[in-house]
């Protein structure tokens, strides 16, 4: 299975990228870093700069938007089996302002592919119109945004919502990463088995 990790060029919470990435590798799957710009993404440990991580694929602007050299969101999403959205405050805030990134997320949801999002990452799901009728968790400051977008927010270490159209695994914060990684591996693997 090929798993997309979508981040902005700057602001991803490093542990929320690297720990799920390791879990995907240990499951025997292929993780790929997708961003809105080529080169490297700058990760952070809360507000402190951390490592740089090489981008594998670039998502272009939304259909009809100005060309930026990236792949079309639909074509890029078609090549993956599941999506991980790491958090960090600045990361999803930048992603939700990039039409191509939002469309990329929407393609996973519309295709029924599983998505996992942690911490502030559900902001991108809100922008993609992917939380209405769903139950999810996040960093607590997103609760009102999720409710206003038609979702139900719960304060849980990890929550798996299997409501249509796609499975959704969410967690609140870095301290929940063990549970988040276990749930996403189980859900992604189970979904892959159900598909074929």
pLDDT at 129 over 90: yes
pLDDT, tens digit (0-9, with 9 covering 90-100), for 143-158: 999 999 999 999 999 9
Indicate the pairing of strand 135-136 with strand 48-54: unpaired
CATH number assigned to the domain covering 2-191: 3.40.50.880
64 has a pLDDT exceeding 60 = no
Q: Which of 53, 98, 120, 191 is catalytic?
A: 120
| Confidence class for position 191, pLDDT limits 50, 70, 90 | confident
Confidence of residue 196 (pLDDT cuts 50, 70, 90): very low
Residue 181 a catalytic site member: no
Collapsing DSSP states into helix, strand and coil, what is residue 153? Answer: strand
Please give the share of the chain, as a percent, with pLDDT higher than 90.
Answer: 88
120 is catalytic: yes
Q: Looking at 98, 107, 119, 181, which residue is catalytic? A: 119
**Three-state SS annotation for 62-101:** CCCCCCCCCECHHHHHHCCCEEEECCCCHHHHHHCCCHHH
């Amino acid at each position: 299975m090929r798993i997309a990790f979508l981040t902005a060029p700057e602001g991803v919470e490093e542990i929320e990228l690297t720990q799920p990435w390791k879990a995907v590798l240990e499951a025997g799957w292929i993780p790929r870093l997708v961003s809105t710009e080529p080169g490297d993404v700058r990760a952070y440990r809360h507000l402190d700069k951390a490592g740089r991580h090489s981008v594998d694929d670039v998502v272009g602007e939304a259909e009809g938007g100005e060309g930026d050299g990236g792949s079309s969101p639909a074509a890029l999403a078609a090549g993956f089996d599941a999506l991980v959205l790491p958090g960090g405050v600045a990361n999803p805030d930048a992603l939700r302002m990039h039409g191509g990134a939002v469309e990329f997320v929407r393609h996973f949801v519309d295709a029924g592919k599983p998505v996992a999002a942690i911490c502030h990452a559900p902001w991108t799901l809100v922008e993609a119109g992917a939380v209405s009728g769903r139950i999810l968790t996040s960093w607590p400051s997103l609760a009102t945004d999720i409710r206003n977008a038609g979702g139900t927010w719960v304060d849980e270490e990890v929550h798996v919502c299997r409501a249509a159209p796609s499975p959704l695994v969410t967690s609140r914060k870095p301290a929940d990463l063990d549970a988040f990684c276990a749930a996403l591996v189980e859900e992604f693997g189970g979904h892959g088995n159900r598909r074929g």
